Amino acid sequence: MSAFSALTATNPAASTRSAWSVLKFGGTSVSKRSRWDTIGRLALARRDESGPVLVVVSAVSGVTNALLAIIEAAQRDVAQAKSLAEVLCDKHREFAASLDLQADAVIGQRFAELHALVVDTRAARADFGWQAEVQALGELMSSALGEAYLNRQGIPIRWIDARQHMRAIVLPNTTQWAARLSVNCHIDTSDAYRAGFAEQGDLLITQGFIARDEAGQTCILGRGGSDTSAAYFGARLQAARVEIWTDVPGMFSANPREVPQARLLSRLDYEEAQEIATTGAKVLHPRCIGPCREAAVPLWIRDTERPELAGTLIDASAVDAAPGVKAISTRKGIVLVSMESIGMWQQVGFLADVFAIFRAHGLSVDLIGSAESNVTVSLDPSENLVSSNVIDALCADLVAFCRVKVIVPCAAITLVGRGMRSLLHKLSDVMAVFGRERVHLISQSSNDLNLTFVVDESVAEGLLPKLHELLIASGAMPVEETDVFGPSWRQLSGQAAARAACWWQSRSTALLALADSSPRYVYHLPTVRARAQALAAVEAVDRRFYAIKANPHPALLRTLVDEGYGLECVSQGELSHVFASVPALAPQRVLFTPSFAAREEYLLARERGVRITLDSVYPLEHWPELFHGQDLQLRIDPGFGSGHHEKVRTGGKGAKFGLPASRLAEFLATADRVGARIVGLHAHIGSGVTDAAHWRTVYSQLAGLAEQIGTVESIDVGGGLGVPYEPDAPAFDLDAYARALAEVKSAWPHYELWIEPGRYLVAEAGVLLTRVTQCVDKLGVRRIGVDAGMNALIRPALYGAYHEILNLSRLQDAAGSPADVVGPICESGDVLGRRRRLPDRTQEGDVLLIATAGAYGAAMASTYNLRALPDEELLDD
Ligand code: LLP
């Protein structure tokens, strides 16, 4: 079903409504001739499909800002205002010419009005009504040009003045400013009104943003008011729908400019959309949702450049009982007002008193946090807040009641979605991120639709991509619900990484044959070599070690040793395994980097002659005899961690690894006493890191310390390089990694640069083959059971990790309905993938391939439930 037919089919009120469609086009959508052609085409198509059409337009891009500049200039420098006005008229002349129109013939009268307003006596006192009249000209001009152009194209659209229809209402506490420059409008839903409106024609064009007050004077709806105008018209006409045509494909789960992985939200209910719009998304003006919701008019966001995309549909039918975070957003410019009063405890009327002051200043309070002697509130960056010194005035009044502190600039980071309270257990990773920062205020909305954290603006910088990723990984944002979550911005904007050819795509026959024993891991040695060589081409690196914990299969170890890699081990078991698998390996090519290991393990490592890494003073203090005369490597905790999941971040206070730099002196003194020499510094901040800048920071920190120590010869920046698990995820940016390392290496060329990756070398070389055991539908959930569970591959259960899953037996079949792929282990967490669209014909005995399983797959497998360990096989062609 197309979104358009869904619109009529799912909306119970659809049949009782008028057939009007309201189509709103924003600034960029009316700024080019080709866009007006689109407007004409869409308007005609809607009229022919479903009935009369009202087109609501904004001013041409940049015009409202230009008008504001004129307003500003007119108050102090009329000559400048006049010249700005002339520039604006010229801009319209130019635009009209591109439409083959004579601007002066079509909107000459508006030009004259503008010039008259510039010299109006009201200008000097910045009269609000005068400001409204100046600003209204933008929409009056664009709509008139649009009408003339479309008529010329043979489209009989008729211009109407929005001010005849949009009547401002004055709400209690409305300031004089708001009464002219930020009005709300009356909604007349009477049959008589609709009948009268319909008499004007079935193809009309009007202005967004403008209205009139009781006295008939021009007012404006404030920034973003065109959306609201469209919604008011939609409500008044009881329209079949309001379509907001804009320059993005719809609402997203995060701001796509910051988070390219953000997903298009295909369907939302009014409340969710309201929250998302209010808490940061710029696509829709928050005020426009209310009128549509009250009148049950569906609101549909569409992309003017790409009308074929389905956009975001907001209506009452989208209410989904399943809880889930739909979006995360940030609002900057938040002002926090903290009010401290010792006398507040049980003091009747304190809040009433202070809130009365906010009201008197026309400030609306957003979030509230309270303690016995403190109330902290947040204020949205409203127009009067930025355009006047209202905060100073507010504080001056508040001091009579309490001590006031204003905290700026703050940012509010909000998670929006239904059933936030029931999701808290999934938000632990998100909480952990905030836990490391200073959070001024946490607020959970009483409608259970949002959870907001207020932090300093600087903290919010760059945090969104990480939080978005964590929300998906934890299952809090159920992106597998494809009815709600559409494609990612990256996919829509054509930036999705074209899937790099995977070795297994051309080897399905061989793999199917190998699945005679199942579950079975299969490793492709040429892929291991290819990754090893790509990394070896990073010039700044002097020595490379493979972290065998990722996959200790002997053939992989031999392959990597042949490629020139040393091996990094973390246990006695790994050490023994390494020398058994590659007997000729020189001990100098082996690192021993254990964590909280027993004394015997260090003893064994020493006997083998491998390079030992210590990460605390304890071994030196308690077993000095082991380290006497040894050259050691010291693992530093750089104070921060990074990686695909909280559980794999190895830096900072919360992690058990590494010596904090603050204890370096003590460590060095002890090493000196023991007679050990520190010849290498080491840090490994975590696993699955995608931002190359981290290694630059780590190296710089270590180099700084190395300079103090004096005996250091090498700096090991660990492993951690990420790999793409999702089919459209970008490959690890090896060039950026090479550049970052080259930069630091050139700053400190006297240290050897070492690395010790695991995942990067083997993850993509491995797949897990598993056979379908049972296919079961239970209470509407489709489940495909397989013989590999969390015993064979624990990453999805442990980290919420994503692994692509496909049915190797039915590669030609189309995607089917969503199914959870589950294992045979007696745990609810035994799920390998959720809501995967495996072919509907998938059946017992089919072979499923679980991709990117070469790292931390077999290595972490267990015999839990006494199930046998998965088999392992190799392919070398
Ligand atoms: N060096 C040290 C000291 C490490 O602890 C690790 C991994 C590495 C190097 C290699 O990191 P890699 O390049 O593979 O990211 N089981 C988790 C990963 C745990 C990584 C533990 N340490 C997972 O499946 O994601």
Residue 662 CB contacts under 8 Å (≥ 6 apart), including other chains = none
Task: Give the whole-angstrom CA distance, residue 589 versus residue 575.
Answer: 12
Which protein residue has the closest C-alpha to ligand 1 atom 16? 856
Find out whether 449 and 421 touch, Cβ atoms under 8 Å.
no
Residues with pLDDT less than 50, the chain? 1-15
Q: Which atom of ligand 1 is nearest to the CA of 648?
A: 19
pLDDT confidence of residue 282:
77
For CA atoms 38, 41, 44, 46, the dihedral sign is negative
Counting from 1 in the atom list of ligand 1, the atom nearest the Cα of 855 is 24
The Cα 681–Cα 750 span in angstroms is 13
Half-sphere exposure of 570 (CA within 13 A, CB side): 16
273 contacts 84 by C-beta, under 8 angstroms? no
Which residue of 531, 635, 684 sits with most ligand 1 atoms within 8 Å of its CB, as the best mutation to test the pocket? 684
> Residue 871 and residue 859: Cα distance in Å, rounded?
12
Half-sphere exposure (Cβ direction) of 60: Cα atoms closer than 13 Å: 23
Q: Identify the residue whose C-alpha is closest to ligand 1 atom 23.
A: 856
| Ligand 1 mean position, distance from CA 183 (Å) | 58
Could you tell me the distance, in angstroms and rounded to a whole number, from the CA of residue 685 to the centre of ligand 1? Answer: 9
Tell me the catalytic residues. 826
Q: What is the pLDDT of residue 869?
A: 98
Pocket of ligand 1 (CB under 6 A): 547, 549-550, 568, 593, 648, 684, 687-688, 718-721, 756-760, 795, 799, 855-856
Q: By the 8 A CB rule, do 696 and 741 touch?
A: yes
Q: Which atom, in ligand 1's list, is nearest to the CA of 550?
A: 14
Alpha carbon distance 840, 843 (integer Å): 9
| Ligand 1 centroid – CA 805 distance (Å) | 23
Check residue 497 and give its pLDDT. Answer: 62
| Mutational test site, ligand 1, from 721, 759, 761, 803, max ligand atoms within 8 Å of CB | 759
pLDDT number for residue 10:
41
- Residue having the nearest C-alpha atom to atom 5 of ligand 1: 684
Residue 722 alpha carbon, nearest atom of ligand 1 = 15
Q: How far is the CA of 787 from the centre of ligand 1 (A)?
A: 27
Q: Say how far apart CA 264 and CA 303 lie, in whole Å.
A: 12
Q: Distance, CA 721 to ligand 1 centroid (Å)?
A: 9
CA–centroid distance, 861 to ligand 1, in Å, is: 16
What pLDDT shows up at residue 344?
59
Q: Is 462 buried (19+), middle (13-18) or exposed (0-12) by CB count in 10 A?
A: exposed
Q: Ligand 1 center to residue 689 CA distance, Å?
A: 10
CB atoms within 10 A of CB 761: 31
CB 488 within 8 A of CB 263: yes
CA distance 703 to 680: 10
What pLDDT is stored for residue 6 in this prediction? 42
* Residue 808 CA to ligand 1 centre (angstroms): 30
